[in-house]
Amino acid sequence: MTTDRTTQAKGTGQYAEVNGINLYYETHGRGRPLILLHGGLGSSEMFGPVLPLLAERHQVVAVDLQGHGRTADIDRPIDVRLMADDIAALSDHLGLDRPDLVGYSLGGGVALHTAAKYPNKVRRLVVVSANVRRDAIPPEMLAQQGQVNAAAAEFMKDTPMYQLY
């Protein structure tokens, strides 16, 4: 089974040294800049099915967030506020003029914090399925999230998330 869902959109994968992290991103298409931020345990491939359509009218920058996909983890917490700093720094690194941000789940939290902390660096914001506060997450979801650790890797080996990672 192939897990590469971006083959329809030919992109260029690169790394940017920002905030002490070697952040992986791909660029697709041309036009108004649009940064895509994936959900937890995923990678930029989460957007594979819609990427070709978005790239028809946008310069799409699909990012692998800290500790996800091709971006290695570093010695700091996985925290949406810190990852927001990474996205603002990536935008500066690439010379993007107020890109639009689209974030799903974890990426939605990163997008929200990026827009809140750096309002002059974001034009439009689309947030999908993101939590704004930890106490807004149902207890059963928190319990499930707490089970995602190194011991869970064996159980996840047949999942698309594991295969992409």
> pLDDT by residue (tens digit) across 129-149?
998 777 888 889 878 877 777
The answer to whether residues 32 and 100 touch, using CB atoms and an 8 Å cutoff, is: yes
Q: Does some domain include residue 2?
A: no
Q: Does some domain include residue 1?
A: no
Calculate helix-pair angle for 80-94, 106-117, nearest 10 degrees: 70
Give the confidence band of 7 by pLDDT, cuts at 50, 70, 90: very low
CATH number at residue 56: 3.40.50.1820
Cβ contacts of 108 within 8 Å, gap of 6 or more: 37, 39, 127, 128, 129, 130
**pLDDT tens profile 39-84:** 988 899 999 999 999 999 999 999 999 999 999 999 999 999 999 9
**Distance between CA 125 and CA 139 in Å, rounded?**
28
In whole numbers, what is the pLDDT of the chain averaged over residues?
88
Q: At residue 1, does pLDDT exceed 70?
A: no
Q: Does some domain include residue 3?
A: no
| Residue closest to 36 by CA, chosen among 95, 89, 105, 131 | 105
Structure-model confidence comparison of residues 35 and 161, the more confident one: 35
Identify the three-state secondary structure at position 165.
coil
Q: What is the CB neighbour count within 10 angstroms for residue 123?
A: 15
Encoded tokens for 53:
């359509």
Percentage of residues in the chain having pLDDT higher than 70 = 90
The boundaries of the domain holding residue 101 are: 12-164
Q: Does some domain include residue 20?
A: yes
pLDDT at 164: 63
Give the amino acid at 38: H
Q: Does some domain include residue 67?
A: yes
Q: Does some domain include residue 138?
A: yes
Domain count, the chain: 1
